[in-house]
Amino acid sequence: MTRLGKGLSALIKPEDSVENSHGNVSKIEISRIKPNEYQPRKIFDPEKLKDLAQSIKENGLIQPIIVSQIDNDNYELIAGERRLEASKIAGLTEIPVVVRDVSQREKLVFAIIENVQREDLTPLEEAVAYQQLIDEFDFTHADVSNIMGKDRATITNTLRLLKLPQSIKDMIDRKEITSGHARAILQVSEEFQEEFALSIIKNAMSVRKAEDAAAKYSKSKPAHTTKKSEIDQELIASLEKNLKNKFGKSVKIKTKSKEKGELVIPFKNKKELDELIKNLNLS
């Protein structure tokens, strides 16, 4: 299994902390550094960012950020987003960087590994990042498990958070409930999930109490579901991959409930539609 540390070292060699293939670490203007399109982190802790900015003001940016070169004038961030944002707050115009040539896949993997290693991602950001690996790079749950150094059940449980209604996702982001609470909420029928989430907050339930309450809550409601009736998300990912190979394009299977969903096969023009009809033997 590829552990977390090995995932990072596969992309950044130890010597990159002091030099790159072009020589020593160099300084470039912050304005020339573009965001990483695959950066999973969306929420920053303002107080922690402020503290880091103050440290950078007093001591400078000691550890260089990692970038890749887009063209002669611009670079794209690979790792070090917190340091970059804090440097902007600190008023720096130039920062030390190490330049690396990486693939699109490596950009995403590195961004996720760096953030997960530092425990900077929210549970939902982590889930979205894992789903991006699956959707864009055909990773399986096992692949994500290997590269992140986490067991497959943890990866699967994290991905299940994406099935929650937006209102409950917002509660997670506001830290009103934890990912453990969220997994308990998933045991409740969809129509009662928000109601149950509010009950967890109101009664300040621990995760253990929420799990116990979820089991009783489901039984007390007319439309309840059990884990047995849930659609296997890894099966869905496998089916999507097989369909992509068949049709030559990304195919989405969207689950609307524990047992229902829809199959979405996109096309851009009439030619693609004609090819799709042919592949489906409808013509």
pLDDT tens per residue across span 37-47: 766 666 677 88
Q: Which CATH number fits domain 4-117: 3.30.70.340, 3.90.1530.30, 3.40.718.10, 3.30.450.70?
A: 3.90.1530.30
- Phi-psi domain of 43 (left: phi exceeds 0; alpha: psi -120 through 50; beta: other): beta
Question: Where residue 61 falls among pLDDT bands split at 50, 70, 90?
Answer: confident
pLDDT surpasses 80 at 15: no
Which position has the higher pLDDT, 235 or 256?
235
Return the pLDDT at 58.
84
Alpha helices (H) in the chain, listed in sequence order: 4-9, 46-59, 81-89, 104-117, 123-137, 141-148, 152-160, 166-173, 179-185, 190-202, 207-220, 233-247, 270-279
Return the pLDDT at 259.
65
Cα 11 to chain center, whole Å? 19
Question: Where residue 7 falls among pLDDT bands split at 50, 70, 90?
Answer: very low
213-to-200, 201, 219, 220 alpha-carbon distances in Å: 9, 13, 10, 10
* DSSP-assigned beta bridge partners for residue 65: 97
Return the pLDDT at 24.
58
User: If DSSP codes are grouped into helix, strand and coil, which group holds residue 255?
Assistant: strand
Element of type H or E holding 263: strand 261-264
CB 210 within 8 A of CB 277: no
- Phi-psi domain of 138 (left: phi exceeds 0; alpha: psi -120 through 50; beta: other): left
d(CA 56, CA 50): 10
What pTM value is reported for the model?
0.53
Return the pLDDT at 168.
93
User: If DSSP codes are grouped into helix, strand and coil, which group holds residue 114?
Assistant: helix
**Average pLDDT score over residue span 133-151:** 83
pLDDT surpasses 70 at 110: yes
192-to-61, 203, 218, 272 alpha-carbon distances in Å: 49, 16, 9, 41
d(CA 97, CA 105): 21
* DSSP-assigned beta bridge partners for residue 79: 66
176: which DSSP letter?
Answer: S
Q: How many CB atoms lie within 10 A of CB 228?
A: 6
Q: Can you tell me which residue has the tokens 């425990």?
A: 119
d(CA 46, CA 52): 10
Q: Which CATH number fits domain 164-230: 3.40.50.300, 1.10.10.2830, 1.10.3720.10, 1.10.287.130?
A: 1.10.10.2830
Mean pLDDT of the chain: 78
Please state the domain extents for the chain.
4-117, 164-230, 233-279
In sequence order, the 6+-apart residues with CB closer than 8 A to the CB of 161 are 123, 124, 127, 169, 172, 179, 182, 183
Question: Where residue 64 falls among pLDDT bands split at 50, 70, 90?
Answer: confident
Which position has the higher pLDDT, 264 or 28?
28
**Average pLDDT score over residue span 2-11:** 41
Return the pLDDT at 243.
78
Question: Which residues are known catalytic residues?
Answer: 81
pLDDT in tens, 164-203: 999 999 999 888 999 999 999 998 988 889 999 999 999 9
